[in-house]
A and B are shown apart, each in its own frame.
Chain A
Amino acid sequence: MAALPLNLKQGSAVHRAIQAVVVLALVLFALRAATTWNRSGLSLLTDALIIAIAVTGLNLLVGFTGQISIGHSAFFGIGAYTTAILVDTYGWSPGWTFFPSVAVCFVVGVVVGLPALRLKGIYLALVTLALAVAFPSLLNRYESVTGGAEGIKGLRYLPPSWTGLEGRSDLAVWFFWLALGLLLITSLMARNLLRSRVGRSMIATRDNETAAEVMGVNIALVKTGVFGVSAAMAGLAGSVFALKLTLVDPTLFTLILSIELLVGMVIGGAALLWGPIVGSLVLVYGRDLAKSIGEDNNIDGLGGIMFGVLLIVLMFAAPQGLVGLWRRLRIKVVRILPKPPVSAAPPPTPSVDSHEPALVAAPADPDQ
């Protein structure tokens, strides 16, 4: 028997086979969920996928670019309200509202990102905190557009005819595939972005802003651009959320939501591509489990206390998130050696499984 850990070359046949098996397992799981799970099970999973879309955006900003945001509930809400207003006031077909929601949130994200050019750390956090706090008040203030405290109700989005799904009975299945598809695409976009020059610029900006600027990174462009992309992803999630819930109102997009998104990112693992997905699943299912425990035992607040304790334990056991923990454990069994760089230069010291992606050498693979 070979000594552990086993070394696998990235891109080798065995590595590809393992990846194929993982992908196949996930596809089979999704098919099984869509065809055999009941309404509530599928709805809960869909909620986790929607949150994961937003957390993926947040992870780009916080995890990979090093900018803090406590204001993502506002971007999520702007996406939701853009969809709701276009459907309710202007009679748009719900599916088409995703485009303007993404565009509006990108623009707002870029504008909100401007202070990030001069602010860092807790000061930037305060600016985004103000956004999160002000957003519900703004919704109340501009009642003629947003419906004020009553919000906008009665949003309807039935499965498109080409899906073969019909009516509200199949709505849970439709939203599951929609959320899964959008999460898949946003995750792949994030992955490819991080492997590109822009991604390396983001990581360089996070690791050492001065050094990155000296090396030619346009810090202003990177910071504001990532803020925009991150906000756009949160807005897309908000749009799907609004259509699934059939309504929007100011109480849904408070500071609590921002904190939940941050918690989802940290539980899963910041700066890791699988982190948002795992973190969102734990967040949504953990909250539901805690609620059920409270109902079953008829003890006020028991569920919330248990969920809080779980989060604390998780942070002690897995300070780099659950995906980080998984990587630490996996390294003891299998190490994946990255491809050597394309240049003829001798390969650098492998940075496999490091959390800090290399700047100049082979781009780190944050989804390993």
Chain B
Amino acid sequence: MTSPSIDRDHAVQLMREMTRIRRFEEKCAELYSAGKIRGFLHLYVGEEAIATGVMRALEADDAVVATYREHGHALARGINANALMAEMYGRVEGVSHGRGGSMHVFDAATRFYGGNAIVGGGLPLAVGLALADKMQGRNRVTACFFGEGAIAEGAFHESMNLAAVWQLPVLFCCENNLYAMGTALARSESETDLVLKAAAFDVAAWPVDGMDVLAVEQHARRAVDVVRAGSGPVFLELRTYRFRAHSMYDPDRYRGREEIEHWRERDPLVTFPASMPDFLDQATLDGIERDVAAEIEAAIAFAEAGSLEAAADLERFVTMDRVPS
């Protein structure tokens, strides 16, 4: 654990953000079982420290490209919990007008470009967003999140190479939770050191303890500085674990209880407050839980009260009349 070199506000903000993500998703799982949320639901439980830490290193006009496991990234990026929950409910008030659902969260206001459910599908987009910034002389960073499963896709190798050869401002954030759905890394990759793979593209790359929110923030800031300075892309391997199954359909047959328990001991929602008892005492934690519970209850009420888009509007947005400003 990194030594606490932060002030109380900072500690509370990190804890609040991780708690929001955890409780929001736990509630989503309940609502899924109750049939309120349908389709696929991929939970980020256990990985909250990554989105929480990395987003703090980004500026408001930077861009984020994420995957189908993106509720945490969306919340940490500042997407309103009401609009996110309404999207889960398929309501017009949802962040993607109910057309995307859990896997396709988009938000122009925070430059959040999905929510991509094709493994590796977001990487080329991130390269292009960064290319546009470079060509237009804007000093912005595009943070691209993907799991270690994406490393097996051609899109990863093509995108890393393109970003490196053109020296584009992309922060590649590989969330290595050790399993591509149910397939363990060692069963699908001949070289399991992901940093080595990135380094093969002559990209600055290093591993980060993804269960340590302070370490994530610190390393993300360092990486963003490098990217923003115009020194080309950076690859972070954020080592983490998802405590729950791949999706709500997954019986989780491929992992042992012991392994899951071992990783649960590193739960950032437990270890982080334990590491700074002066800032995060029980009363403070209780206050955070109360605030978060109220926010989530409000989000559910908002989603429940949301409207269903008329089928007559089905074909809206297939093509656009203009480029939204």
Pairing of A with B: no
Residues of A within 8 A of B (CB): none
Residues of B within 8 A of A (CB): none
